[in-house]
Amino acid sequence: MFGQILVNFLFASAIVSCGAYFLSWRDNDVMRKVGRSFMLVVFGGLCVVLGMLVYNIFQHDFSYYYVYNYSNTELSAPLLFATSYAGQEGSFMLWTFLVSLIGVCMLPYVRRVGYESHFMSFYTLALIFLLLMMVAKSPFQFVWEHFASDPNVYTGFEPQNGRGLNPLLHNLWITIHPPILFTGFAAMTVPFAFAMAGLARREYTQWIRVSLPWTLFGTAVLGFGIMLGGFWAYETLGWGGFWAWDPVENSSLIPWLVCVALVHTMLTQKQTGGLVKTNFFLAVSAFILVLYSTFLTRSGVLGDTSVHSFVDPGMFAYILLIGTMIVFGVLGFGMIFRRIGELGKGAADFKLNSREFIIGIGSMLTLISAGIVLFGTSYPLFSELIVHTKVAMQVSFYNTSHLLLAILIGVVNAVSMLVNWKVTGKALFFKRLRLPLIMAIAATALVVAFGWQDIPYVLLAFASFLSLFVNLDLLIRLIASRPDKIGAYVSHIGIAALFLGVIATSRYSVLDHARLVQDEPTEVLGMTLTYQGKREIDKQFKDREKYEYLVKVQKNGGEGVVKPILYWSDYNQRKSAFLEPGINRTFVQDVYVSPKAVEIQGSSPTAAVHKFEETPFPFDSNVVVTLQRFDMTSAMQGGGPDLRMGVELTFDTPDSTWSEVIYSTRTVDNLWRYEPYQVPGTGYYVALREIKPDRSNLANSEAVLSFADIDRAETLEREVFSVEVSTKPFINLVWIGVILMVAGFGVAIVRRVKELEPRGKKPANPVGAAKPMPQVHDAPSFESESSGDESEAGKA
């Protein structure tokens, strides 16, 4: 109750904050203080709201529908925390919270750069819409409110346990991936608000400078979040790969690609004064695309085309999401259109051999990629609207188009690093190109010799190598003298490594199906795989049975063990197992083993016996067993749902006679798990398979025994573990690539933040004025020099 009221109050506070900030545009300090105070109220309130939700979850207060629906008492603390955003309501809350958190962090910054009023006006406007969504989708609804039509659920009803979290989500990644992704999403609000502030203040250049570090931050975080999702899919979910062009993946990729382009066009404007309109357009687009992404993934419109779960959020949220997109679209693009006449002034003329032109081409290619993904992802939606049949995009659509795009991006990146801003001489360009080109050709020849034969992939490999060596060359020259400037090179090396990793894993992965009989080495893909048996893990949890299936992988003398997992959970009443892959990692390649099924092979002869009946062993009549009594003492002690029962058997051999109690456990699902007993001095086994009680006369109950002989293979019941085995050559390049890329962004952020700090005034070079390019080391730096040449051309 209190939670809902607080959310409503915060919504109202955001409106007040936004309104006050708008009123403070004409330097009204009082209004600015009001806006700021209410912004802090919103942030503080969201902390409380989030804290309340987390508290309810940790208290297992299942009278709250959200808590009941996503958590249960069996979840560990990190997973309990993760349930606070596992559901739709919670994920909106996390997003809103992060937007407010970033907003509060921005406050001192925007005050320092003198953008507070305008920036915060638009920033809080975005908060209003997010809070409105929270008003509509509150995580503080009670179960009896949700199940209002169910007479069994009366007011005050508190379920004893919750529904829990899908076992596929029970891992570390759910605690990391969504918060990082949402931080990236939330950070996209910043360039948008700066762009709007720039338009409002008619400052078409300054906003680039102040917004650049934050745009870099958002791009880095979002990129990292996307990669973590890919890693999760690969490592745990067993999708076989890290990227499947699934709508959910695509929908976060689209704004990211736009942001990557934006980072480059912002740099270009900062350096040359050009691309003013482009930057406004892209900053607004990135934000709208984040909203669109949310709409695609949260409204359920693409429900049938994605592996992710969606739930219809209801008509109100659906309309609200569309409404938000329209409002910000009209506002953003409308503002640009209103100022369009002023924006064109002073646009620089790019020379074909200038860096700005090549970067422009690169940004365009990135935007084309975004456009293709946007088109493909939205296609089912529009095909349904227009021709009333739902049509989905196949993976081949994205792969085909991106193969060529990636080749061009690789080459363009290499070239852009070799040319200077403004203009570059031919001789200089070729001189810089020579070494990296030779190395790229050599490396490409090497991979061709190793068997990469498809021409498009060879071309992509060449483009990636060229980009790699060009950037590496420059990185080595710069790292000692200007380590603060290496960000771009590190990022581009990362992208090149990513491309190479993608070629290797996607094109040169091999795959086979194998049935691994326990303890029998099996040849698969030139490796020897041996299934060695299973081991139960996570035993402390009562709601699951989780087994690691140990498979030994031997190849070329090397050896490793992979541990795919079969996970039986109460979540689906243990009807079938959740499957997680096992991965044998080496630097060169991963061996990826996806479990498929487990069966029992072989059958041992059985015999139904009653008390005092003598039964000879089926394959050796010299050994005779007699059932003496039923032993239920273990069953009394356990207390759990499983019953461990035993029978005392007498063994008679020509040499001796002895007694032994053998056991079997009946599980809740009426499955018997038996503990075979080896007859000493022989290879014979006997096991209690089942006890069939005679309810009228318990003494007359029947025990089913089974017999096995180690020399008769057909009597040995062995598990057959069916798996899909694939190799993932150089998949590490994918992860390393993305991490380098993010690290490069990190370096760049530090540099751009430092640039903003006031220091000794340098004479500003007006744009267009020719100035000598510094030719230290003969290497072009990504920025020609310090930030002194900021163009003010666009300023009205």
Partner 1 sequence: MKAKYLIGGLIVTVFVVIGLISLDGGTIAYSDIQTARSTPGFVKVKGSWIKENGADYDSEHDIFTFHMRDSTDHMIKVVHNGPRPNNFELAESIVVEGRIENDILQSRHILTKCPSKYEGNTMRDPSAYAPAAGEGNSES
Output 384 or 613, the one with its CB closest to partner 1. 384
371-410 mask for partner 1 (x: CB under 8 A)? Answer: -x--xx--x---------xxxxxx-xx--xx--xx--x--
Read off the tokens for 106.
């921005």
We find the least distance from the C-beta atom of residue 68 to partner 1, in angstroms, to be 8
- Does 668 bind partner 1 (CB under 8 A)? Our answer is no
We find the least distance from the C-beta atom of residue 149 to partner 1, in angstroms, to be 5
| Cα–Cα–Cα angle for 734, 494, 776, rounded to 5 degrees | 165
38-67 mask for partner 1 (x: CB under 8 A)? Answer: ------------------------x-----
591-630 mask for partner 1 (x: CB under 8 A)? Answer: ---xxxx-x-------------------------------
Distance of alpha carbon 57 from alpha carbon 52, whole angstroms: 9
- H, E, C per residue of 394-417: CHHHHHHHHHHHHHHHHHHHHHHH
What is the torsional sign of CA 185, 190, 193, 195?
negative
We find the least distance from the C-beta atom of residue 742 to partner 1, in angstroms, to be 28
Output 37 or 722, the one with its CB closest to partner 1. 722
Instruction: State which of residues 42, 143, 227, 267 lies at the interface with partner 1 (CB under 8 A).
Output: 143
Instruction: State which of residues 2, 304, 344, 612 lies at the interface with partner 1 (CB under 8 A).
Output: 304
What is the torsional sign of CA 146, 147, 149, 155?
negative
**Contact yes or no for 379/393 (Cβ under 8 A):** yes
Output 124 or 378, the one with its CB closest to partner 1. 378
Other Cβ atoms closer than 10 A to 319: 12
- Give, as ranges, the residues between 476 and 515 that touch partner 1 (CB under 8 A): 513, 515
Instruction: State which of residues 319, 330, 352, 442 lies at the interface with partner 1 (CB under 8 A).
Output: 352
Output 67 or 625, the one with its CB closest to partner 1. 67
Beta pairing, strands 522-524 & 527-537? antiparallel
Instruction: State which of residues 3, 44, 159, 605 lies at the interface with partner 1 (CB under 8 A).
Output: 159
Q: Which residues, 6 or more positions from 646, have their beta carbon under 8 angstroms from its beta carbon?
A: 630, 631, 632, 633, 634, 661, 662, 663, 664, 688
Output 53 or 497, the one with its CB closest to partner 1. 53
- Does 70 bind partner 1 (CB under 8 A)? Our answer is yes
Distance of alpha carbon 86 from alpha carbon 89, whole angstroms: 9
Query: What is the rounded (10 degree) CA torsion for 501, 506, 509, 511?
Result: 150
Output 158 or 613, the one with its CB closest to partner 1. 158
- Give, as ranges, the residues between 406 and 435 that touch partner 1 (CB under 8 A): 408
- Does 168 bind partner 1 (CB under 8 A)? Our answer is yes
Other Cβ atoms closer than 10 A to 639: 7
We find the least distance from the C-beta atom of residue 738 to partner 1, in angstroms, to be 25
Instruction: Read off the DSSP letter of residue 756.
Output: H
Distance of alpha carbon 472 from alpha carbon 470, whole angstroms: 5
We find the least distance from the C-beta atom of residue 463 to partner 1, in angstroms, to be 15
| Cα–Cα–Cα angle for 529, 532, 537, rounded to 5 degrees | 120
Q: Give the binding range for partner 1 (CB under 8 A) out of 99-107, 369-377, 451-459, 494-502.
A: 369-377
Output 150 or 536, the one with its CB closest to partner 1. 150
Output 3 or 300, the one with its CB closest to partner 1. 300
298: nearest Cα among 418, 507, 136: 136
- Does 163 bind partner 1 (CB under 8 A)? Our answer is yes
**Contact yes or no for 380/393 (Cβ under 8 A):** yes
Using DSSP, state whether 722 is helix, strand or coil.
strand
We find the least distance from the C-beta atom of residue 69 to partner 1, in angstroms, to be 5
- Give, as ranges, the residues between 555 and 584 that touch partner 1 (CB under 8 A): 571-573, 575-576, 578-579
We find the least distance from the C-beta atom of residue 152 to partner 1, in angstroms, to be 4
Output 379 or 619, the one with its CB closest to partner 1. 379
Number of C-alpha atoms within 13 angstroms, CB side, residue 364?
9
**Contact yes or no for 104/39 (Cβ under 8 A):** yes
We find the least distance from the C-beta atom of residue 34 to partner 1, in angstroms, to be 41
- Give, as ranges, the residues between 738 and 777 that touch partner 1 (CB under 8 A): none
In DSSP notation, 316-363 reads HHHHHHHHHHHHHHHHHHHHHHHTHHHHTTTPPPPPTTSHHHHHHHHH
Output 293 or 594, the one with its CB closest to partner 1. 594
Instruction: State which of residues 59, 78, 114, 349 lies at the interface with partner 1 (CB under 8 A).
Output: 349
406: nearest Cα among 368, 442, 358, 436: 368
Distance of alpha carbon 683 from alpha carbon 680, whole angstroms: 8
- Does 671 bind partner 1 (CB under 8 A)? Our answer is no
Q: Give the binding range for partner 1 (CB under 8 A) out of 304-312, 499-507, 629-637, 674-682.
A: 304-312
Output 125 or 598, the one with its CB closest to partner 1. 598
Work out the angle between the directed axes of helices 315-338 and 276-298 (0-180°, nearest 10). Answer: 180
Read off the tokens for 710.
């180690």
Would you give the distance in Å from CA 720 to the centre of its chain? Answer: 33
Output 9 or 379, the one with its CB closest to partner 1. 379
- Give, as ranges, the residues between 233 and 272 that touch partner 1 (CB under 8 A): 237-238
- Does 793 bind partner 1 (CB under 8 A)? Our answer is no
We find the least distance from the C-beta atom of residue 220 to partner 1, in angstroms, to be 27
We find the least distance from the C-beta atom of residue 346 to partner 1, in angstroms, to be 15
We find the least distance from the C-beta atom of residue 308 to partner 1, in angstroms, to be 9
Output 193 or 566, the one with its CB closest to partner 1. 566
Instruction: State which of residues 77, 149, 341, 696 lies at the interface with partner 1 (CB under 8 A).
Output: 149
**Contact yes or no for 184/260 (Cβ under 8 A):** no
We find the least distance from the C-beta atom of residue 269 to partner 1, in angstroms, to be 16
What is the torsional sign of CA 743, 86, 258, 792?
negative
Task: Output the CA–CA distances (angstroms, integers) from residue 608 to 611, 651, 676, 687, in the order listed.
Answer: 10, 16, 16, 12
Distance between the two ends of the chain, CA-based, in angstroms?
Answer: 52
We find the least distance from the C-beta atom of residue 163 to partner 1, in angstroms, to be 6
Q: Give the binding range for partner 1 (CB under 8 A) out of 334-342, 658-666, 716-724, 783-791.
A: 716-724
Output 107 or 347, the one with its CB closest to partner 1. 347
Q: Give the binding range for partner 1 (CB under 8 A) out of 105-113, 159-167, 222-230, 660-668.
A: 159-167
Q: Give the binding range for partner 1 (CB under 8 A) out of 125-133, 260-268, 360-368, 621-629.
A: 360-368
Task: Output the CA–CA distances (angstroms, integers) from residue 282 to 28, 208, 346, 482, 720, in the order listed.
Answer: 31, 12, 19, 30, 55
What is the torsional sign of CA 155, 159, 165, 167?
negative
We find the least distance from the C-beta atom of residue 432 to partner 1, in angstroms, to be 22
- Give, as ranges, the residues between 78 and 137 that touch partner 1 (CB under 8 A): 86-87
Q: Give the binding range for partner 1 (CB under 8 A) out of 68-76, 479-487, 492-500, 705-713.
A: 68-76
